[in-house]
């Protein structure tokens, strides 16, 4: 790979053409500034200036118990979704590394099939599955059990969100597990470790970079989820995104909605910034074999 | 890793359940789409094609479908051109500015959908872009750009730049080198970027919900409003059609790829 080889001779550059790469990125950057940068700036400004200049919208947000409950619930639901994803993805990704190529293809297809239909249709499927007259409840009833209430509950929201986000956990986990040298586990076994001990002291630590990477992606995506909680959830499982939408579209409170949006945005970026160095150093460790 | 037989069985069972959990929601729309009654209750009653007829004849559905096709096609072209240019620029820059700019261009992937949506909505209200084709194309293009950038960059990373030097040393001009050497070699990245961009736009819902109006609706917006309004099995029919279309596209693609690979061997 020449890109990694510092001695590769490059195409002779004419003097004065050093700006050319920057010119190539310019159209994309302009669009980025116009359609992402300017709108986000507008939201920040509105959160500070409507109805008048000052931090009143933030004071309101952090002063109202209702908002804090929703903020806390957003974190709780995201955390549950992350936990469910890690627990389900770990054995699945491991099996992907352990089986032959044909079975692996089937397993990969199962991960990718959810992407084949549009996200909204998938949420509709969850409505069909979870509703009181839905698939799960009719199966339970035909097996002689009582029906359970799933739709418009927090459990239902977690089940639906975790299914949507599971591929984002499985794929990074698989790419890390694929690179683990299984001879290290054999070495531990030959030195007398029981299989469970070999797993917990050798395999698990080596797979953690994948867990971190996947968990961070899932948690951050879950924080900003809007469609699934809106369709599967009820008033007692409202997440921050729905609250932002209500403030802006129904109440026309751009200042308050903007302040909530900024809180969500800042949380996301702080989490990313916190996670970036951890993930980078773990990756380096895993790469050093 | 060696495992006890019991561990092996448990692992297999857990993975089977996870696989069902992943796939079942995709397939459940198929039986619902043939329902005779106007309801989404399970199990569906009887058999009828009426929801497919409704999708084809009801202007609400067919117009939104055509709108989505139009927007997604424009977005695919625009995002691929901008993303490919940017990927080339980043590839030929010094590492430090390149990393910074790359991070900037990937931000659309991590900004929470609703925050972006209210921002774009605010700007579009002032610029009178709500419910316009331009508005949809611009917003979706910026959301699709990161996918093109990732796909093309990955291809450029394994591209041997000495090939360009070789072409240049044999007398090819910059444009000829690009057309006959660089472009054919990175075409897979560009094509997968194009596909991702199309899919991103065709599927986009959060921003679309804010910038839509009765005159311009895309398919996801129509699906969303149908789900929230009443239990109309037309949604299930649309889901089934989309599922079949993607299956045919992906299956065909895999067959073609497989044949090509065999031919090369």
- Asked whether residue A119 is assigned to any structural domain, the reply reads yes
- Asked whether residue A57 is assigned to any structural domain, the reply reads no
Question: Given a cut of 90, is residue B135 above it in pLDDT?
Answer: yes
Other beta carbons within 10 Å of A289 = 9
Instruction: Inspect the interface and report whether the beta carbons of B29 and A125 lie closer than 8 Å.
Output: yes
**Where residue B261 falls among pLDDT bands split at 50, 70, 90?**
low
**Where residue A159 falls among pLDDT bands split at 50, 70, 90?**
very high
Question: Given a cut of 60, is residue A283 above it in pLDDT?
Answer: no
Question: Given a cut of 90, is residue A177 above it in pLDDT?
Answer: yes
Could you tell me how far CA A91 lies from the centroid of its own chain? 19
User: In angstroms, what separates the C-alpha of A283 from chain B's closest C-alpha?
Assistant: 17
Token couple for A14: 């004419």
**pLDDT computed for residue A3 by the predictor:** 47
Give ∠ CA B42-B39-B242 in degrees, rounded to 5. 85
Are B26 and A125 contacting, i.e. CB atoms less than 8 angstroms apart? yes
Tell me the Cα Rg of chain A. 24
Task: Name the residue among B15, B112, B116 with its Cβ closest to that of A39.
Answer: B116
Instruction: Inspect the interface and report whether the beta carbons of B14 and A91 lie closer than 8 Å.
Output: yes
Residues A242-274: pLDDT tens digits? 999 989 998 999 999 999 999 999 999 999 888
The backbone torsions φ and ψ at residue B42, rounded to the nearest 5 degrees and listed phi first, read -105, 140
Instruction: Inspect the interface and report whether the beta carbons of A117 and B246 lie closer than 8 Å.
Output: yes
**pLDDT computed for residue B264 by the predictor:** 52
Counted domains in chain A: 1
Distance between CA atoms of A24 and B86, rounded to whole angstroms?
A: 5
Question: Given a cut of 70, is residue B243 above it in pLDDT?
Answer: yes
- Asked whether residue A27 is assigned to any structural domain, the reply reads no
Sequence-distant (≥ 6) Cβ neighbours of residue B193 within 8 angstroms: B79, B80, B83, B84, B147, B148, B149, B150, B151, B152
Instruction: Inspect the interface and report whether the beta carbons of B239 and A36 lie closer than 8 Å.
Output: no
Partnered with residue B216 across adjacent β-strands are B213
Distance between CA atoms of B157 and B91, rounded to whole angstroms?
A: 8
Mean pLDDT of chain B, nearest integer: 89
**pLDDT computed for residue A284 by the predictor:** 52
Domain that holds residue A71: 66-287
Which residues from chain B sit within 8 angstroms of residue A135, using beta carbons?
Answer: 28, 42
Q: What CATH number does residue A150 fall under?
A: 1.10.3720.10
Distance between CA atoms of A135 and A137, rounded to whole angstroms?
A: 6
- Asked whether residue A6 is assigned to any structural domain, the reply reads no
Are A220 and A168 contacting, i.e. CB atoms less than 8 angstroms apart? no
Give ∠ CA B236-B242-B246 in degrees, rounded to 5. 145
Residues A191-201: pLDDT tens digits? 988 888 999 99
Closest A-chain CA to B211: A249
Question: Given a cut of 70, is residue A280 above it in pLDDT?
Answer: no
Sequence-distant (≥ 6) Cβ neighbours of residue A177 within 8 angstroms: A93, A94, A96, A97, A207, A210
- Asked whether residue A55 is assigned to any structural domain, the reply reads no
Partnered with residue B213 across adjacent β-strands are B216
Reported CATH class of domain B53-246 = mainly alpha
**pLDDT computed for residue A288 by the predictor:** 44
Task: Name the residue among B123, B162, B242 with its Cβ closest to that of A118.
Answer: B242
pTM for the predicted model, two decimal places:
0.87
For range A172-196, the mean pLDDT: 90
The backbone torsions φ and ψ at residue B213, rounded to the nearest 5 degrees and listed phi first, read -150, 175
CB half-sphere exposure, B223, CA atoms < 13 A: 29
Task: Name the residue among A11, A163, A262 with its Cβ closest to that of B22.
Answer: A163
Question: Given a cut of 90, is residue A76 above it in pLDDT?
Answer: yes
H or E element: which one contains B152? helix B133-157
Residues A139-154: pLDDT tens digits? 888 888 887 888 888 8
Question: Given a cut of 60, is residue A289 above it in pLDDT?
Answer: no
């Amino acid at each position: 790979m020449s890109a990694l080889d510092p001695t590769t001779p490059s195409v002779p550059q004419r003097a004065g053409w050093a700006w050319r790469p920057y010119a190539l990125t310019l159209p994309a950057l302009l669009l980025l500034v116009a359609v992402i940068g300017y709108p986000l700036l507008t939201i920040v400004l509105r959160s500070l200036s409507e109805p008048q200049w000052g931090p009143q919208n933030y004071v309101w947000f952090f002063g109202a118990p209702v908002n804090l409950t929703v903020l806390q619930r957003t974190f709780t639901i995201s955390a549950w979704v992350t936990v469910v994803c890690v627990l389900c993805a770990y054995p699945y990704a491991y099996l992907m590394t352990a089986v032959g190529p044909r079975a692996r293809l089937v397993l990969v297809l199962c991960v990718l099939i959810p992407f084949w239909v549009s996200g909204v249709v998938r949420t509709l499927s969850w409505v069909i599955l979870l509703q009181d007259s839905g698939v799960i409840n009719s199966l339970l009833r035909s097996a002689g059990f009582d029906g359970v209430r799933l739709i418009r509950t927090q459990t239902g929201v977690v089940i639906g969100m975790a299914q949507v986000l599971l591929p984002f956990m499985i794929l990074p986990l698989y790419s890390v597990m694929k690179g683990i040298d299984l001879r290290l586990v054999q070495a531990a076994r030959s030195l007398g470790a029981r299989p469970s001990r070999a797993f917990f002291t050798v395999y698990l630590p080596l797979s953690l970079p994948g867990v971190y990477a996947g968990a961070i992606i899932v948690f951050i995506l879950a924080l900003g989820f809007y469609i699934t909680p809106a369709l599967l959830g009820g008033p007692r499982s409202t997440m921050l995104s729905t609250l932002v939408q209500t403030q802006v579209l129904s109440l026309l409170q751009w200042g308050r909605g903007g302040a909530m949006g900024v809180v969500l945005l800042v949380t996301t970026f702080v989490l990313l910034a916190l996670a970036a160095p951890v993930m980078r150093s773990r990756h380096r460790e895993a790469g050093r074999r | 890793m060696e495992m006890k037989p019991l561990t092996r069985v448990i692992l297999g069972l857990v993975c089977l359940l996870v696989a069902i959990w992943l796939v079942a929601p995709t397939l459940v729309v198929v039986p619902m789409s043939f329902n005779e009654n106007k309801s989404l209750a399970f199990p569906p009653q009887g058999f009828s094609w009426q929801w497919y007829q409704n999708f084809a004849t009801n202007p609400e559905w067919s117009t939104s479908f055509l709108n989505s096709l139009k927007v997604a096609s424009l977005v695919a072209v625009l995002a691929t051109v901008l993303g490919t240019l940017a990927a080339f620029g980043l590839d030929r820059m010094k590492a430090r500015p390149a990393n910074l700019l790359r991070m900037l261009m990937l931000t659309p992937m991590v900004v929470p959908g609703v925050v972006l949506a209210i921002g774009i909505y605010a700007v579009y209200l002032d610029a009178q872009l709500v419910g316009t084709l331009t508005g949809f194309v611009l917003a979706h293009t910026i959301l699709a750009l990161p996918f093109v950038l990732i796909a093309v960059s990955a291809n450029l990373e394994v591209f041997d730049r000495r090939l360009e030097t070789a072409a240049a040393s044999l007398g090819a001009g910059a444009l000829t080198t690009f057309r006959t050497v660089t472009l054919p070699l990175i075409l897979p990245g560009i094509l997968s970027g194009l596909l991702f961009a199309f899919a991103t736009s065709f599927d986009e819902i959060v921003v679309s919900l804010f910038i839509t109006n009765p005159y311009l609706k895309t398919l996801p917006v129509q699906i969303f409003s149908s789900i929230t309004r009443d239990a109309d099995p037309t949604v299930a029919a649309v889901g089934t059609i989309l599922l079949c279309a993607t299956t045919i596209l992906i299956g065909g693609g895999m067959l073609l790829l497989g044949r090509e690979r065999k031919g090369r061997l």
